[in-house]
Amino acid sequence: MALALVLASCVDANTGQFGTVVEAHVLRVLETGQRGVPGVERGQLFHALTPGGLLKEGDRVLLALSREGTQRTYTVAEVVRLPSLVPYAVLLVVVLLGIARLKGLAAITGLAASIAVFLLAIVPAIQRGEDPLAATVAGSIAVLIASVFVVHGFGAKSVAALSGTVAGLIIVGGLGAIALAAARMSGFTGEETIFVSVATEGRLDVARLALAGVIVGSLGALVDMSVGQSSTAFELASVDPELRGRALYLSALRVGRDHIGSLINTLALAYFGGALPLIVLLSLSFQPLAVALNSEEMIESILTVIVASIGLVVCVPVTTAFAVALAGERR
C-alpha cells in the first residue's frame, strides 16, 4: 500500500503517452452501441459499448478522452477493478501475520522491498535507455539480498542460501543467452514488446529484454530452492552435532532431490498456466500446429522452464556445499 502511494505521488495515473482517461460513474445503462459521444459533461448520460455488456449501474469506469478542435469524444476504456483487490490483499496480510507472525511480517517486508526494486530501480533504468539485461541482473541481486536477508535474517544460513542462488542465477543467465540465440529469438513475443519498441523508438534491445524476463522468471524458484536447502542442512547439523562433512552433505542432498521434482513441476505448471489461452488456441487449430509450436511466445515459455529447471538442479548441490561448510565453521 505504501508503494502504491509512492507511485501515485510520482505520476499521473490517468495520463499516458497515447492518451488521457477520466473516471466516471455509471448511473444507468440504457442500451449498448459503439459510438463516441462528443461533449460529455459531468453527470450526463451517454451510450457506451463494453465487451459482453458488462457495465451495470454503480460501476466505475475510465473514459478515454480524445479531442478534435473544440470537440471532445469519450469512449469506455476500462472498468475500474483495482479496489476489488483490496479485501484479498488485507486477507493475505491477516493470514501471514496470524499464522507466520514475525516471519509473516518479514515476508511482507521482503515482498515490498522486491517490488520496490523492480518498479523504482529496474523499470526506470530500462526507460532511460540502459541495457535491460544489466539493469535486471543488478536489480535481481538487490532483490535476492532483500528477500533472503530481510525474510530469513542475517546469518550463515542466509549467506549459504544467497551464494547458492547467485550460482543458479549465473547458470540460468548463461544458458538462457545461449538458448535464445540458438533459437533465433528476436524478442518480439507479443503486442507488448512491439509497443515497447515503438515507445522507445527502437532504442531498447528487446532480445536482451527477453533474456532478462527469463532470469526474473526463474528468480523466485531459485530463492525457494536455496533457502530450503540451506535450512535443511543447518537443521540437520543442529539436531546431530556429530553430523558434519560428507555425511551431512549427503543427508541434506537427499532432501534436496525430493524437493527438485516438486519445484520443477510447480514451475512448469505456473508457466503453462499463464500460456493456457495459447494452448487452447492451439487445440482449436486456428493455425498450423507447426507454426504455433515454433512461435516465439511458446518457445520462450518452454525455454524458461527448461533453463530455470537446470538452474534449480545445479542450485541444490552448490547451496548444500556452502551450507555444510558454514555449518562446520559454526561448530
Q: Is the dihedral of CA 285, 291, 297, 298 positive or negative?
A: positive
Q: Which band of pLDDT confidence, cut at 50, 70 and 90, is reported for residue 11? A: low
Query: What domain count does the chain have?
Result: 2
The percentage of residues in the chain with a pLDDT greater than 70, rounded to a whole number, is 82
Residue 245 lies inside a defined structural domain of this protein: yes
Which pLDDT tens digit goes with each residue over 293-309? Answer: 787 878 888 888 888 88
The boundaries of the domain holding residue 277 are 151-330
The lowest-confidence range among 17-21, 170-174, 272-276 is 17-21
Residue 167 lies inside a defined structural domain of this protein: yes
Which pLDDT tens digit goes with each residue over 226-261? Answer: 888 998 899 888 888 888 888 889 898 888 888 887
Q: Which band of pLDDT confidence, cut at 50, 70 and 90, is reported for residue 321? A: very high
Which pLDDT tens digit goes with each residue over 171-200? Answer: 988 898 888 888 888 877 767 777 777 777
Which are the contacts of 30, defined by CB distance < 8 A and separation ≥ 6? 45, 47
Which pLDDT tens digit goes with each residue over 103-126? Answer: 778 778 877 877 888 888 888 888
Is pTM beyond 0.85? Reply is: no
Scan for cell 512448469, then name that residue: 268
The lowest-confidence range among 48-57, 63-72, 83-92 is 48-57
Domain final residue, candidates 80, 106, 131: 80
* CA nearest neighbour of 36 among 46, 45, 22, 23: 46
Domain final residue, candidates 31, 60, 80: 80
- Pair 267, 186 in one domain: yes
Torsion of CA 212, 217, 223, 228, to 10 degrees: -150
Return mean pLDDT, the chain.
78
Residue 136 lies inside a defined structural domain of this protein: no
- Pair 255, 155 in one domain: yes
Residue 266 lies inside a defined structural domain of this protein: yes
C-alpha cell at 168: 543458479
Residue 1 lies inside a defined structural domain of this protein: no
Give 277 or 13, the one with higher predicted confidence.
277
pLDDT at 285: 65
